[in-house]
Amino acid sequence: MEPGNKIILETERLLFRPHILADLDAWCAMEMDPLVRRYTGGHPRTRQQAEQRFFERGMTSVHDRLGMWATVFKPENQYIGRCGVYPHFAENGKPIPGEGSLGYYLASSYWGRGVATEAASAFVKFGFEELGLNRIVTEVEVGNDASVHILEKLGFILERTETGPRSFYHFALQKAGGN
């Protein structure tokens, strides 16, 4: 079976699988889109930078089901981004046992359709029920009100705000009954 055919998770409208070479153009389009990049680095990447990131991260960023998965919108069979739960690293660079970081990064043409909420909700459930995580964290750049709304809807709690040239909200969600 081709790696891209291995579905890791599926929802009503989305499926999540490993990235494949056929995702490259859509990945690059997102990386070059100023709307998408507004809250994920501030500036669009060049095609060359986007391709390099695809091969460095997209094709290799999954370990033991923790990672950012290619996200496909099933009604159109269209790659629309990457979502997942990946390791949460401590300041020393080591993964924190029992914790994961939630990420969702979607093409701007799919915003406002509930797709990010559907993906985030699925990965929270996956993280707690399938991966056995006790805590899921995420950070959102200040000003990204749509993502803040999604996290609040899912029960995430704001733990702190980091201020600087780029400021971030840090959210966390504890597994029900967890420590």
Residue span of the structural domain in which 36 resides:
3-138
Instruction: Decide if 11 contacts 122 (C-beta within 8 A).
Output: yes
The H-or-E segment that residue 122 falls in is: helix 115-125
> Using the 8-state DSSP alphabet, how is residue 86 labeled?
E
Domain count, the chain: 1
* Best CA proximity match to 8, nearest among 63, 80, 76, 78: 63
Residue 79 inside a domain? The answer is: yes
Question: What is the torsional sign of CA 17, 19, 22, 27?
Answer: positive
Q: What CATH number did the domain enclosing 120 receive?
A: 3.40.630.30
Residue 145 inside a domain? The answer is: no
As given in the structure block, the two tokens for residue 2 are 């081709």
Residue 167 inside a domain? The answer is: no
Residue 166 inside a domain? The answer is: no
Provide the residue-wise pLDDT of the chain in tens; the chain has 179 residues: 345 568 889 999 999 999 999 999 999 999 999 998 888 877 788 889 989 988 887 776 556 678 899 999 999 999 999 999 999 999 899 999 999 999 999 999 999 999 999 999 999 999 999 999 999 999 999 999 999 999 999 999 999 999 998 899 999 999 987 55
Contact partners, residue 5, CB within 8 Å, separation at least 6: 17
Residue 164 inside a domain? The answer is: no
Residue 175 inside a domain? The answer is: no
Contact partners, residue 172, CB within 8 Å, separation at least 6: 135, 136, 137, 138, 156, 157, 159
**Prediction pTM value:** 0.90
Burial degree of 75 (CB within 10 A; 0-12, 13-18, 19+): exposed
